[in-house]
Structure 1
Amino acid sequence: MEATMVSIYSLNTAFALKPTSKTDIIVLLPESIQFQQEDIQQLERLGAHVIRTTFPTTGLKLNTNACDHTMLNLWALLDYQKIVYFSPDIVFENDVDQFINIPVGSAIITGNFNIPLFVLEPTPETFELLVHEYRRKPHTTTFTDLLETLIDYRLRLPVRKNALVFTGPMKPWNFHTYRDVDWSKYYDPISFYKWRTISNDVRHLFNPHSEWKNEARQRTVCDSYLSSVADIRYFAVKDQFSVMLSTYNPERIRHLSLLIRHLLKSTKIHTVFITWHNPDLQVPDTLYLEIEEADYHRVKVLSQTFDSLNNRFNPTEELQTEAVYIMDDDIYIDLEDLEFTFSAWQSRKDSVVGHFPRSHTYNPETHEATYRVIGQAPYSIILTKSMFIRSDYLFSYTCLLEPDLHASVDRQLNCEDLGFAMMASGLSGAGPTYVRTQKSMEDFGLKKGISTNAAHMPARSQCIADFITKYWHTHDPLIPSTDAAAPFVRPLIRTGSWQRVTKSILN
């Protein structure tokens, strides 16, 4: 339904740019599927005529797709001389005359005979012929079969520049639920973002008075980023990684400066980005006190316009590495352990790889969830306190995800890491990876951090339940993992003794 509204809204916008002759917009909805009355009303607000359709079975029960039945009714709309059918896979960008004025028999045909747009002339004869063919082979015939065998589309149109056509299995409205290793083959961040911006416009049309003060953040951040980079998917540096270190409190500047100095000792670190979350304060000059002047160019401060935990995943045009290490300002890790974790990530680049594993459960029937700290496998979440990710994932989270998820994070000042974990595994189908460090990590937030609040764990459980239920349609995207990566040590092997082994087995 959301995709349908986006497609119609884009068509209306294109009409407004270049008015054309009177054109009706019709949405056919099968009566066999329940739709929310609010959705139908919103379609009508977009200027669409909503028609509920039935399939003329005359008592024959067909085990076929309701959408196919609905499309057959296109040829029964006899009040029209010509109909330009388009699926929700199309977004119109400007001039739509090429689609309105093309002759009957034209079509856009993509791989596997997918037809997102075609032009037809409704006639009783064609309608009866299509229905007859459907009844003749009710369990095997699809609508695509009928188009391919009964209708000769001689004029095959190329996909033009003024329309986006999402023909692959991954769509902008479901990219975060794709969950397969070949995700990058179909992932198109630029066109997906264009779709997201139109979707946001539709939502604003229906709800123009939002109380969310950061509503403009997604578009502001992402438009600025896209205007500054030539290719958002090209990260040239493969043998180093960047650090994104989040901070808010100016009282931590002294310790933060020491932490940066520590990180810059690693030759594997390309750039340290400081995400300065507090938009009301300038970054103190004392930040550079403990940093060698020769390393100044390796430190970049990312000042923020919006106060949001979501800022820790903002894409930045100065990022050149394929990998990003996300960390809090109250974490200290030995550099050998950090570099080993980077090498572990390099062997599983789609995974979130890090040091703080957590576990969860989710019940799709009750929509209840649990969240807990664990001491043994399996785990399903790696916290953003200390983790490696693909740089691609920054744009995915910030610019393509449902903005309501970002709003939920802002309201609760919590759970951005849970939303990110769900997006990463939901997109790629790759579970997380825990890395065991050789030296103990220092966590300065154990005494006064947000996780010490008694309400923290229940709130996290509720976030998991809400996110999966609302944004993943009750299909849990998190993947349990039992893997653990650790630096190699000599295996413990001794000369075999059957006497010792027998005693062990019998006891």
Structure 2
Amino acid sequence: MDWAIPLSTQDLSKVTFEVQPTDSLNNRFRALLPVPTPAVLSLDDDLVIPCETLDFAYSIWQAAPQSLVGFTPRLVTWDGETAPGVVAGKKVTELEAGEGAGPGPGAAGSYRYLSSFKHVWWHGRYNMILTKCCFLHRDFLSLYFSSLTPEVLQYIDDRRNCEDIAMQFVVANHTRGAPPVWVQARFTDYGQKSGISQGEDHARERGACVGRLVKEFGSLCLTTTSHKAIDARRSWIW
């Protein structure tokens, strides 16, 4: 069932709510009705972002429609000194933080999901943009379900985690490495202190998820980049 709320706007736009038949994180990317615009804004309900900031991010997406464009960058690396699923809490090396980093055949170690923005700041690099707030092309919604096996979709459902990481792999694999784009801007995240990302096992579970997706896609196909977009009108110096 879907229903709409008319808005008091000149063009009589409306907001339509789609009610999914099942409770699944995968449904974040499942559109029940045709998407009328090329761009889709994926946004958590505990974020507040100024409209002018979204307008700027949308203009960046228009210049890079094959990328995920958003406000929350993260870094995934290979750590040869940890057992699978263990977070070591150390600074990774340049090799580990570099583009295409990963294990050789039979290498011991694990993929690490560095869950805090401080790791992006520390290394000056990132290879993911969380879908808690990002623009993406509407074609990626159907691509998500056509690219992932039922086993991976079930993996996500069972853990109630990892759908955003899966979308990173889907986009990177389809575009052959189109890098994500970080838009640096101020916004309010009410879930920052109490959301599931604050749990002790969060980083470990997401590192294991990265390993599962690497197995699915054959490699860590995420492209590491150091670029960021800043609205000069909001910056204190040109």
- Which category of TM-score, normalised to the shorter sequence, fits these structures? 0.7 to 0.9
Indicate conservation of the 8 Å contact 1:310/1:406, yes or no: yes
Q: RCO greater where, 1 or 2, for CA within 8 Å and sep 6 or more?
A: 2
Match of 1:484 among 205, 221, 228: 228
Deviation digits for residues 40-71 of structure 1, max 9, x if unmatched? xxxxxxxxxxxxxxxxxxxxxxxxxxxxxxxx
Which one-letter code corresponds to 2:178 in the other structure?
Answer: A
2:174 corresponds to: 427
2:139 corresponds to: 392
Compared with structure 1, are the counterparts of its residues 298 and 352 closer, same or farther at alpha carbon in structure 2 (3 Å cutoff)? Answer: same
Give me the whole-angstrom Cα distance separating, in 2, the residues matched to 1:444 and 1:330.
5
Q: Could you tell me the TM-score, scaled by structure 2's length?
A: 0.78
Matches within 5 A, 1:166-315: 292=7, 297-315=13-31
Matches within 5 A, 1:354-503: 354-362=70-78, 363-364=102-103, 365-366=107-108, 368-372=110-114, 373=116, 374-376=119-121, 377-428=124-175, 429-437=177-185, 440-469=186-215, 471-473=216-218, 475-489=219-233
Give me the whole-angstrom Cα distance separating, in 2, the residues matched to 1:302 and 1:400.
23
Question: Cα offset for 1:487?
Answer: 1.2
Structure (1 or 2) with the larger CA radius of gyration: 1
Question: Cα offset for 1:433?
Answer: 0.6
Indicate conservation of the 8 Å contact 1:325/1:386, yes or no: yes
2:49 maps to 1:333: yes
Question: Cα offset for 1:368?
Answer: 1.1
Gaps of 5+ in 1: 1-281, 494-507
Structure 1, 391-400 or 357-366: larger mean CA deviation = 357-366
> How many pairs were matched up?
204
Which one-letter code corresponds to 1:319 in the other structure?
Answer: V
Compared with structure 1, are the counterparts of its residues 492 and 355 closer, same or farther at alpha carbon in structure 2 (3 Å cutoff)? Answer: closer
Q: What is the DSSP-based 3-state SS (H/G/I as helix, E as strand, rest coil) of the residue aligned with 2:18?
A: strand
Q: What is the DSSP-based 3-state SS (H/G/I as helix, E as strand, rest coil) of the residue aligned with 1:459?
A: helix
Q: What is the DSSP-based 3-state SS (H/G/I as helix, E as strand, rest coil) of the residue aligned with 2:38?
A: strand
Q: CA RMSD in A?
A: 2.4
Deviation digits for residues 145-178 of structure 1, max 9, x if unmatched? xxxxxxxxxxxxxxxxxxxxxxxxxxxxxxxxxx
Question: Cα offset for 1:375?
Answer: 3.9
Question: Cα offset for 1:306?
Answer: 1.6
Question: Cα offset for 1:367?
Answer: 5.8
**Structure (1 or 2) with the greater helix fraction:** 1
Q: Could you tell me the TM-score, scaled by structure 1's length?
A: 0.38
Give me the whole-angstrom Cα distance separating, in 2, the residues matched to 1:492 and 1:315.
41
Gaps of 5+ in 2: 79-101
Give me the whole-angstrom Cα distance separating, in 1, the residues matched to 2:22 and 2:134.
24
Percent identity of equivalent pairs: 30
Indicate conservation of the 8 Å contact 2:66/2:137, yes or no: yes
